[in-house]
Structure 1
C-alpha cells in the first residue's frame, strides 16, 4: 500500500520567485530618449539656453544669406525673446502639447556639409514609425514612465542576477530558516527508505496533526526597508484614495519657484473716453469708424450679421515682409538684451585679502635669513671617544701622533 510522506520529512521545495522591481513601462531608442531628456533639462533647469540657440541659429542664417531661413530664424528668435505672462523668456512650458525636438525626414538640412555623391543608389529602407513622447512631464515623471533600450537591457540582466541570487540564498526567502547538513542527509535517507518499502509496508494509522499549534508565521523583515506583505499593488491606500478624491493638482516640484520673476513691461492703459483729436475730427465732420463698423478698414472682407470672414494664415515669407525683419535691428536687440549670467564667482573678502598680505609680509621678512644660510650640508659628528676607552696599541699610536 502507498503511504503519504509526512510534511516534516519532505525535502525543501524551490524558493518562491522574488518580486519584480517596478520599471518604466515604455522603452525608447537611444536617440529619442537622449533628445527628450536634454529638452526637459534645458526647459526646467536652463531656460535661457533655448534663447541662446535661437540667436545662434539666426546668426548662421545671416551668414548663409538664405532669405527663407533668415525669416524663419528671425521669427523663432522674436518668439523666444518675447516674455510670457509670467515674465520669463522661454518656450515649451510644462503642461502644453509639444512634439519631440527632432528634424523630420523631409526637412531641408541647415548645415554646411554634404555627403559624397554616390553613383549607385542604396537600398531604401522603410522608415520606422515615429514614437510619440510626452515632453510635458517633469524630469522625475519622464524617467518613471520612459526608459532607453540600454537601461532596459541592464534591468533584464539585473533581474536575472536577482533570480539567481534568490536560488543560491533560498534561506533568505524561506522564513529565514537554514537546514543543517545532517538534517538534509537524514531527510534524503528517509525518502529513499520509504520509496523502497512503500509496496511491502502495510498502511498504518499516522497522526497528521502538526506538533505545534497553528500560528502566524513571523517574517523578520524591517518595516523601513520592506513594504508590508499584506498590502498588494492593487490595494488602494488611504492617502491614494484622498488624493484621487481631491480636486487639487498632483504634488510636484516646481523649479520655476527657485528663480526671481522678470518684471513684465508696463504699458499705459487706453483711456475709455475719446481723445481730443477724435472729438475735433467728429466736430469737423470726419468721424472715425470703430472696429465694429464696416468702414473701419477699406480692404477688409464684407461682414455678415456683424461677423467678418476668417482670413488665411500668413506664411513665413509674408510675415517677414509684413514685419520687416531687419538683421541689424535684431542684432542690436540681441546685444542690448545680453543679460549677465546669474552665476558669478564672489570677490575675495577683506579677511582673506588681509590673510594673503600677512603671509606675503612674513615671507619677505624670512627670505634674507634663508638666503644667508650656508649651502654646504652639515653632517652630524660622531661620538667623542676618550683615550681611556682605546686599546693599548691605539693609545701608543695616539701618543706618537700627538
Structure 2
C-alpha cells in the first residue's frame, strides 16, 4: 500500500485530473438516480393509498381547447363548478357507484390581526396556510398517511361525533398545534366557526391527493404549511369522485353517461390509478441525466486508458528497477491496478458525498438515497475501472523483463 501511495504522489497532476472527472460523473449519475428513485417511490406510495376503480368526473364539451369564453368549435364553455355539479347529478342514484367523494376546493387563508375566538385559532409560524376539505367517503377512497396520531379512516371507525371535525396537519404546524388539540379556523375560511380536532400529523413522504394532479410533484403546498379537513366546509365542489363497484367497467359507464350527456357533451373520467402513472413523467427526464453521467464516466475511462498507457511507457525505467530487485510482471500489474482502485474508490466516495450534500440542501425533498442509488453508481464506476485497467494490464504482460532492466 505504501508503494502504491508513493506512486500516486509521483503522478499527482495526472491523478487529480482523473479524480476530478470521476467525481463529476459520479455526481451527475447519482443525483439523477436518487431523483429518479424519488418519482418511482412516490408513484408506488400513491398507488397504495388509492382504492380501485375510483375516478374523478367532470362534465365538459367534447372539444376542450378553450378560446376566450368558447371552445374550439365555438360552443360556450362549461365552468369547472358547473362541470362538477352536473357530473354529481349523473352518479347520484347510480347503483353501480359505491361511494361519492367530494372535495370542497383548496383555500389559502391569511390570519387577521384582530382574529378573536373562544377557542384558539390553528397556529402557524407564517400567515398563510393551505386548507383542503374532503367528505368522509373521499378520505376512505384516498387514505392519507400519518406519522403521528391516527388517520381519517381510523378516526371514523370509532368516532361519529359531528360536533368535532377531524383535521390532519403538516409537520410544520405540529410544533404549535399538538395532536388532540381543539381549534377553529379563521372566520373567512369557516364562517360557522366549527370545532376541529387535530387527530394526526401527515407523513410528508407520501403524496397528497392534490399532488397526483401535478405531474412534476414540485413540493408541498404553501411551503409545507397546510392541513386537510375530514368534512366539507361548503357546497362549492372542486372535484367529484366516484368509487364504482369492482365488476363495473369504466368504458361501459362512460358510454352510458356520454349518451345521456348529449351529442356535443361528455363526462370525463380520470382514473386515480392512471393519474398516479403521471408521477413518472418527470422520471423520463432523469433518465437522460443518468445517461449523461454514464457518458462522462465512459469518456473518463477512455482518458484513463490513454493516460495510464502513456504513464507505463514513461515508467519503464521504474519498472526495470523493480524487476531488477525481484519484482514480477504480476507485481507490476498489481501496482498499477492498486493505483487505479484507490483513485476510483476515493473519487466515487467524494462524488457520492458531494451529491448527497447537494440533495440535502434542497428545501423540497425530491431525492431518495438508498443502496439502490449508491450501489448502481459505485457499480458503474467499478465496471469502468476494470475496463480502464485491462489495456494497461495487457501492455504490462507483453513487456520483456530484460528490456525493462535495461530501461528499454
Normalising to structure 2: TM-score of the pair?
0.25
Structure with more contact order per residue of length (Cα contacts < 8 Å, sep ≥ 6): 2
Normalized per residue, the structure richer in strand is: 2
Normalising to structure 1: TM-score of the pair?
0.25
* Higher Cα radius of gyration: 1
